[in-house]
Structures are given as structure tokens and as C-alpha cells.
A and B are shown apart, each in its own frame.
Chain A
Amino acid sequence: MANWIPLWLHRLSSPPTFYRFAGTLQPWVTTLALLLGAIALYGGLVLAPADYQQGDAYRIIFIHVPSAWMSMFIYAVMGVASFIALVWRIKLAEVVAMESAPIGAAFTFITLVTGSLWGKPMWGTWWTWDARLTSELVLLFLFLGVIGLYRAFEDRRQGARAAAFLAIIGIINVPIVHFSVNWWNTLHQGSTVNVFGHSKMSWDMLWPLLTMTLATKFYYAASLFRRARTDLLALEGGKDWVRQIAQGEDAR
């Protein structure tokens, strides 16, 4: 049967194997991310027609929407990795969870910034306490809390476990926050803003968006691989396989 899959995954979770695996994959993933990103930007900024209502201003969604999706996707990845790290104490899962946090925070930040840049001409304001905006802001603080807790510990593995626990608490919290913010917002006033006037997107606009989504996924993978590799080297500083790599570098 397909016995080799768990076996392969098990092997992959050992730091030296993952270091080599990520090293071989990383340039390919980076190239793919750049290529797809360039195609999506060309498609979105040049080929796609202007919106009949919003003109050219809508084009920011090609950055904004993929970033928003990524911010939630990365939080989910972080949560799952944290769970694995706490339950099975796999070192690689800790590294993946902790190195995902800054990337996720960056995507969340980009989402907020592009959103407010778009909001200024469209809604006439940089910021409104809309439920989705507020939830995204809370998500940013969750990411920052995880990063802050991780950095506050002297011992990195202990910090990673504590921050992983916080990430799991956060995952339970996200739906509660979203629900309560929704309730809070509708209590005060009805929705004054309509995020998208048109419900259906034309294919000309959709394909750059989807391509950009793929590009951001690959970018995340590339960035994660790079960060995890450095982190693993620092974490496993005293181990034999790191010494061999260091000696290899010296010999060159």
C-alpha cells in the first residue's frame, strides 16, 4: 500500500532532511512566485478592463484580495503547525509555525494598507470600523502577539511552544471576534459600505486575481523555506550536520 507517504513525511520532519529538501525546492518556488506575480500584475494592471463604476482604482484588489486570503491561510497553517508542535513535539513544526508568523503579519499589514489606500477615494475615508476591517486588525494583533511572545523567551524552543499555545487560543478566538464584531457593527448602524457593487466578476478580471493568489502561495512557500532553513541552522548549531555544512562552506 501507500506506506511510503507517512514514512516520507516522517523523514521530512527531521531537520537535515528538510534543510536539503527546502534548499532544492526553494529556487524553483521563488522563480514560480516571481513569474506568476509578474504575469498577474501585467494581466491585472494592463490587460484587464477598467471597472465601469470604480475606474482604475479597483485594480488594487489584485494585491489586496490575495493578501487578505493569505493572511487567513497563513494563520490556519500556523495554527495547524502549532497543534502538531505541541502534541507531537516535532521541532520542524515549531519552526514552521514561528517562521510563518512574520510572513502572515506582513500579508495582514499589506491587506490593511492597500485596503485603506483604496478606501480613501472610494469610501472617502482611510479607515472605517467595518466588521471585516476590524477583524483583520485583530488578526494583525494576534500575529504580533505570537511574534512578541516567541521573542520574549531566552530559550527559543520554549518560546516557540508558548507562542504555539497562544496561536491555538487565537484560532478559537478568531470566529468569536468576527461574530461579535459583526454583531457590534450592526447594532450601531446598518452597513453603509458595499465592498463590491458587482456580484459577478468578469473572467478578464478574475484570472489575474487567481494567478496572483497562486503567486502569493508560492511566495509564502519560498519565504517560509528560506526562513526555516536559517532558523534550523541556528537552532541545531551544535549538531553534526550543521558542522558539515559549515565546513563545506569554509572549504569553498
Chain B
Amino acid sequence: MSRASLSSACAAMLRRDLTLAWRRRGDIAMPVLYALIVTMLFPFALGPEDTLLQRIAGGVVLVTVLLAMLLALDAMFASDIEDGSLEQLVLAPQPLALMLGMKILAHWLTIALPLIVISPLMAALLHLPGAVIPVLLLALLLATPLLSLLGAVLVALTVGTRRSGMLLALMLLPLCVPAVIFAAGAVAAAQQGLPWLAPISWLAAALVLAVVLAPLACAAALRIALDS
């Protein structure tokens, strides 16, 4: 058997995951619908005052996107565990971290990207000023891959367990606190007309760190969880 080159293996991995996601398009729509519904509930619960909604808009959109991603996180490796392809991936000659990185990228493309696309609508529903929306998008573009990467490590750790939904939320909360703080901080600063570049830079720095370390940690976690 000739070894496939690294780049073609990566491309194959990405294509496979994206094809699988495309075959079940309905699943992609679910997090988006969930996020929209949660956003809609806030005006009902808090009253339709413009000023109040404007103040909480940035935070609500961020937390809603985070929760929608958390719900979808569970499924990251689920089908691969069921049909055994994850074991094959671990045994494959290509570095596991790189392959998992591709899986995380595919997951981000199918789950987080639709959420980012829909987020201006969510923000508009809550009357977030139009001038702030680019900052919100930038913050989401940096924060969602960070959450996908951190979440992937935790999902890999819980691969061998039965009930992982609530557990994932409990484990992810401490890890996502900095991401939420910086993303929401940037939006709040932009809304008050303050410079917002500093928190965005921190997010970008965290993302660079996570892009390098998280796939390695994910591979290590998966090896621990599958080793029995």
C-alpha cells in the first residue's frame, strides 16, 4: 500500500466530513434555528424596550452562539465512533493531530459558519447598532474556532463515556470564560465608542495558540479515551 501524501490525506479527510455533513443538511440547519429561537425569547422575557435590548444584544448573541455550538459539539466524533472509522484514523500512518485538525475545521465550517452568517440577523433582532455588527462578526470569527478547538479536546476526552452532554457543558464552561469575556468585551467597547482592538488581539493570540496546541491535545485525549 502506497502512502498517500499528507496534503491529499488532509483534503480527503475534509472532503469526506463535508460530504457527510452535506448529506444530512437538516442537521446543519438545527443549530441555526436553535440560535434564532433563543434570541427571539429574550425580548419576550425582558420586554421589548430598545435601550435594554441594545445593551444586552452583543452578549446575548455571543452566548447563544456558544450554546448552539455546545449542543452540536456532541456529534463531532459520534458517527465516527459508531462505524469504527475513528479507530482507523488513529491507526492511519498520517499524524493523528493533523487529521483531527481537519475534522475540527470541517465541524467549524458546518456548524459555526452558518451561525456567524445568521448572527447579523440575530443582532438586528435585538437592535444592535449597525456600526457594531462588523466588530461582532470579527469577534465571532475569532471566538468560534477557539470554541471548536477547545470543545474538540473535551469531546475527545468524553468519547468513551455514555452520557456526555451535560458533562461537556460543565467541562467547557471554565475553558470558554476567557473567550466570552474578550469577545463580549470587544463588542461592548465598540458599542461605547471605545477602542476595541485590544480584546480582539487577545482573542487572535488565543486562537493562534489553540490552533497549534489543541489538535495535539485532541489527539492525546483521543488516545487516552480509546485506549482500553
Residues of A that sit less than 8 Å from B by CB:
86, 138-139, 141-142, 144-145, 148-149, 152-153, 155, 158, 161-162, 165-166, 169-170, 173, 176-177, 179-181, 183-184, 187
Taking a contact as CB atoms closer than 8 A, the residue among B171, B181, B188 that contacts A181 in the complex is: B181
- Docked-complex contact A149 and B160, CB < 8 angstroms: no
**Contact A138-B181, Cβ < 8 Å, known A152-B158, A152-B161, A162-B221:** no
- Docked-complex contact B161 and A177, CB < 8 angstroms: no
Taking a contact as CB atoms closer than 8 A, the residue among B173, B178, B220 that contacts A180 in the complex is: B178
- Docked-complex contact A149 and B181, CB < 8 angstroms: no
The interface centre, meaning the residue of A155, A161, A162, A183 with most chain B CB atoms within 10 A of its CB, is A162
Interface size in chain B (residues, C-beta < 8 A): 31
- Docked-complex contact A165 and B174, CB < 8 angstroms: no
Chain A at the B interface: mostly helix, strand, loop or mixed?
helix
Residues of B that sit less than 8 Å from A by CB:
153-154, 157-158, 160-164, 167, 170-171, 173-175, 177-178, 181-182, 185, 188-189, 202, 206, 217, 220-221, 224-225, 227-228
User: Complex formed: what's the CA distance from A170 to B171 in Å?
Assistant: 9
The interface centre, meaning the residue of B161, B162, B228 with most chain A CB atoms within 10 A of its CB, is B161
- Docked-complex contact B167 and A148, CB < 8 angstroms: yes
Q: How far is the CB of A120 from chain B (nearest CB, A)?
A: 25
16 additional A-B residue pairs with CB within 8 Å, beyond A139-B174, A149-B171, A170-B174? A141-B170, A145-B167, A145-B170, A145-B173, A149-B167, A152-B158, A152-B164, A155-B160, A155-B228, A161-B227, A165-B157, A165-B220, A177-B174, A180-B177, A181-B177, A187-B188
- Docked-complex contact B228 and A149, CB < 8 angstroms: no
- Docked-complex contact A141 and B173, CB < 8 angstroms: yes
Which residue of B is nearest A158, CB measured?
Answer: B228
- Docked-complex contact A158 and B227, CB < 8 angstroms: yes
User: Complex formed: what's the CA distance from A181 to B178 in Å?
Assistant: 7
User: Complex formed: what's the CA distance from A187 to B185 in Å?
Assistant: 8
Residues of chain A with a CB closer than 8 A to B178's CB: 173, 176-177, 179-180
Residues of chain B with a CB closer than 8 A to A153's CB: 160-161
Residues of chain A with a CB closer than 8 A to B167's CB: 145, 148-149, 152
- Docked-complex contact A165 and B181, CB < 8 angstroms: no
